[in-house]
Structure 1
Amino acid sequence: MTRRVLIVTHGGRPQAVAALAEALRELKTAGFEYTLHDDALAEEFGDHMAAKRVAEGVHNAEVVMVLGGDGTILRAAELTRGTDVPLLGVNLGHVGFLAESEREDLRAAVQRLAARDYEVEERATVDVTVHLPGTAEPVVGWALNEATVEKASRDRMLEVAIGVDGRPLLSFGCDGVVMSTATGSTAHAFSGGGPVIWPDVDAVLMVPLSAHALFARPLVIGPRSRYTVDVLPQSTVEGVLTCDGRREIRLPRGSRVVVRQGGTVRLARLSTAPFADRLVSKFNLPVSGWRDRVGSAHAEAQDVRSDPTSDSNTGSNTGPDNPAET
């Protein structure tokens, strides 16, 4: 039976070109057929990838291998959303939180793929519905990381009203509002001061950005609830909605954005390490406190003082017998 891999990469970067050449060589050696994605992904708001999925045979691929950073993986998710095909990310970027392998481990990743030695993890997305004033039919979209409503110009604040499950909650002026999945909690929402949410938690997070209000804190709702964000008629600026940092739509005054949990995107996992280990690794978190470090330094000093061969006990660095001191 033919095994096939679709490859998505960050074109134009020398590192990506070199990684692609190695990936093709390793996949061929492992007996895979492969197809290179032509990089014509939709950047307009919505989901317009049905024809592209068919044209590139996504449904017939065993996995979509992504060579790049988190941004490239988010692009590739446009191809696999709504299918059973998982994404396998090889990090060529900086943090690479969604990636499963680093550049130097590319050969091992292909070997694991050939041996079917990987697990598949499902990550929830959010469905986004936009009601524009004067338009009967809403516009629909989605995001794997986050949907962000922001002010369209820098000089004024965006006036919004927030609701949950059809009930008004609060209103304020702000730079924007981020609504993220658990997956996206370590991205834009994290930068805005939101909490980290473990990937297996069914939740949608909201983080206000620079809100001019006493009560404007991050909110977390469950999978059956929904947020609404209204761009108020009295807002001095219009808004813009961006999904995953790439698909956007203008929000005139009077627009309403509805965000709720949606379907899933599948990720191929080579590591079974806990999510906490991934946080420590990707963010280079200090796992020992200053007391631990002080205690360790103190113990080392005690060891040196008790060692009869150490300079501190022989006096080799002090006294008139040391030529450097005479």
Structure 2
Amino acid sequence: MNILCTGNERQKNFLSIVKKIKIIVEDLKFNFFLDEDIIVDEFSVKSHSFNKLNKSNYIINLVISVGGDGSLLSAIQKMSSNQIPILGIHNGNLGFLNQTNIECFKQSLIEIVDKQIPINQYDLISASVYSPNGDTKYEMFGFNDIVINHGNLLRIIKLQLFENDKLLNDYSCDGVIFSTPFGSTAYSLSAGGPIVSPDIDSIIITPISSHSLSSRSIVLSNNSKIKVIFKSEQNNINIVSDGQNHNKLDFRDSVLINKSKIKAKIISIDNNSDYYSKLRNKIGW
């Protein structure tokens, strides 16, 4: 088995945790690799690129993310269309998505190899950006959310949303958040959106600081195709996925938001854990 470790090297105890992971992995006769974007001078270790997950002599079987939720989201983004099972080791502040800690890692790894622990697959949300002539400019995806906003904090953005080619609403606001149920407890929640249980297949649309008192969040089926067009000439329009990947939009572009064909594969150590107790314990619900 080939295991790739990634995470946030700026966090406290990151290096000591990685060293422990390396020892455990190699004691079990597996191959250990470190994300090549992480600079570690303290010990010798083989590096591996996320861009070559399935294109090298060492095909990666498992990704380990050390840090908080942001580190795990970053790893999902780096894997792009090559989603590999990922295990989060908590070393951050929130840890809503991460499932284990370094003390339990060895036993967890043994159970993963023995297939005693399930790998849960979760729908991602995608954004396809089209030029005025209909050509695809680029695509993005998110585990939590995709956000369209104005780069200038002093200006609002004016846009129209269509669901399955029917007008949904006009918005004048600072931006719009399109989130998955998991993302409903992230940025969308801060903007006044609802908490949506992960077992409800949905896309949540939440306007940010809307100029209309009647503009509120709406929950749609994740089979919906949501089209975004801009109502006026505007500059500095941003589109962001999971707070990680940023791109610019032209006001003449259109954006299609829908369920991605890509699924994230997250290893759940405690598959019977209570989602609502997590809400209470992690975010003070």
Instruction: Give the TM-score band, short-chain normalised.
Output: 0.7 to 0.9
Q: Distance in 1 between matches of 2:133 and 2:76?
A: 32
Per the TM alignment, residue 260 of structure 1 is displaced from its structure 2 partner at its CA by 0.3
Whole-Å separation in 1 of the counterparts to 2:173 and 2:83: 39
Q: Any gaps of 5 or more consecutive residues in structure 2?
A: 39-48
Distance 2:151 2:83 in 1: 37
Q: Do the aligned partners of residues 166 and 135 (structure 1) sit closer, same or farther apart at CA in structure 2, a change above 3 Å counting?
A: closer
Q: Structure 1 residue 29 and structure 2 residue 36: aligned? A: no
Letter paired with 1:212:
H
Q: What are the superposed Cα offsets for residues 89-124 of structure 1, whole Å, 9 maximum, x if unpaired? A: 011111111111135544443444355431111111
Whole-Å Cα distance in 1 between the matches of residues 50 and 103 of structure 2?
34
CA contact under 8 A between 1:80 and 1:87: conserved in structure 2? no
User: Deviation at 1:261?
Assistant: 0.7
- Name the structure 1 match of 2:42: none
Name the CA distance, whole Å, in 1 between partners of 2:83 and 2:131.
33
* In 2, Cα distance between equivalents of 1:52 and 1:197: 35
Counterpart of 1:319? none
Distance, in Å, in 2 between the alignment partners of 1:39 and 1:134 is 37
Counterpart CA distance in 1 for 2:190 and 2:246 is: 20
Q: Where does residue 208 of structure 2 map in the other structure?
A: 209
Is 1:275 the equivalent of 2:238?
A: no
Give deviations 1:139-175, integer Å, cap 9, x for gaps: 2221111110011101211111122111112212111
SS of 2:13's partner is helix
Match of 2:176 in 1: 177
> In the alignment, which residue of structure 2 is the partner of 1:75?
74
Partners of 2:57 and 2:172 in 1: CA distance: 46
Superposition map of 1:83-232 within 5 A? 83=82, 85-133=84-132, 136-232=135-231
Tell me, yes or no, if the aligned pair for 2:11 and 2:67 is still in contact at 8 Å. no
Assess, with a 3 A threshold, how the Cα gap between structure 1 residues 57 and 193 changes in structure 2: closer, same or farther: farther
Kept in 1, the 8 Å contact 2:177–2:188? The answer is: yes
> Matches of 1:107 and 1:76 in 2, distance apart?
21
Gaps of 5+ in 1: 41-48, 286-326
Residues 2-42 of structure 1, C-alpha deviations (whole Å, 9 max, x = no match): x22111121243411111011111222233221111128xx
CA RMSD of aligned residues (A): 2.4
Alignment TM-score, normalising by the size of structure 1: 0.76
**2:257 alignment partner in structure 1:** 259
Count matched residues: 273
The percent identity for this pair of structures is 21
Amino acid at match of 1:218: S
Could you tell me how far apart the structure 2 residues matched to 1:108 and 1:189 are?
A: 36
SS in structure 1 of the partner of residue 37 of structure 2: coil
TM-score norm. by structure 2 comes to 0.86
